[in-house]
Copies of this chain bind each other. A is one copy, B any other.
Amino acid sequence: MTAIPGEFAPPARLLLGPGPSEVHPRVLRAMSAPLVGHLDPAFIAMMEDVKALLRFVFATGNTLTFPVSGTGSAGMEACIVNLVEPGDAVVVGVNGVFGTRMADVIERAGGVAVRVEAPWGRIVRPEQVEAALRNCRQPKLVALVHAETSTGAWQPLADAARLAHEHGALFLADCVTSLGGAPVEIDGWGIDAAYSGTQKCLSCPPGLAPVTFGPRALEVLHKRKTRVQSWYLDLTLLSQYWGEERVYHHTAPISMNYALREALRLVAEEGLEARFARHRKNHEALAAGLGALGLALAAEEGHRLPMLNAVTVPEGVDEAQVRTRLLAEHGIEIGGGLGPMKGRVWRIGLMGESSRRAHVLAVLAALEDALRAEGRRVSPGAALAAAQSVYAA
Contact = CB atoms under 8 A, between A and B. Distances in A.
Interface of A: 1, 4-5, 7-13, 15, 17, 19-20, 22-23, 28-38, 40-42, 46, 49, 52-53, 56, 69-74, 76-77, 101, 104-105, 107-109, 197, 199, 205-207, 227-232, 248-256, 258-259, 261-262, 265, 268-269, 327, 333, 338
Given A10-B42, A207-B253, A37 B20 contact: yes
A22 B37 CA distance: 10
Given A19-B251, A227-B108, A207 B207 contact: yes
Contact of A229 (B10, B28, B205, B229): B229
Given A5-B49, A20-B254, 19 more contacts: A5-B53, A8-B33, A11-B40, A15-B37, A20-B37, A20-B38, A28-B32, A41-B327, A71-B251, A73-B231, A73-B232, A77-B231, A105-B231, A108-B227, A108-B229, A205-B254, A206-B254, A207-B207, A253-B256
Contact of A230 (B29, B40, B69, B108): B108
23 contacts: A4-B268, A9-B33, A10-B36, A11-B36, A11-B42, A17-B37, A20-B254, A23-B35, A31-B32, A69-B70, A69-B71, A76-B232, A77-B231, A105-B231, A108-B231, A199-B251, A205-B253, A205-B255, A206-B254, A207-B207, A207-B256, A253-B253, A255-B256
Contacts of A73: 231-232, 249-250
A30 B9 CA distance: 9
A51 to B, nearest CB: 11
Chief secondary structure at chain A's binding surface: loop
**How many copies of this kind of chain does the complex include?**
2
Nearest to A80: B231
A206 B39 CA distance: 13
| Closest 10 pairs between A and B when the two form their complex, measured CB to CB | A207-B253, A32-B32, A205-B255, A31-B31, A73-B250, A1-B268, A28-B32, A206-B251, A5-B49, A1-B56
Contact of A104 (B20, B46, B231, B252): B231
Contacts of A30: 8
Contacts of A327: 40-41
Contacts of A46: 8
A34 B28 contact: yes
B31 A13 contact: no
B13 A36 contact: yes
Nearest to A19: B251
Contacts of A268: 1, 4
A33 B11 CA distance: 10
Nearest to A17: B37
A39 to B, nearest CB: 8
A8 B253 contact: no
Contacts of A229: 108-109, 229-230
A9 to B, nearest CB: 8
A40 B7 CA distance: 18
Nearest to A22: B35
A260 B7 CA distance: 12
A37 B250 contact: no
A149 to B, nearest CB: 10
A20 B35 contact: yes
Contacts of A105: 231
A113 B325 CA distance: 54
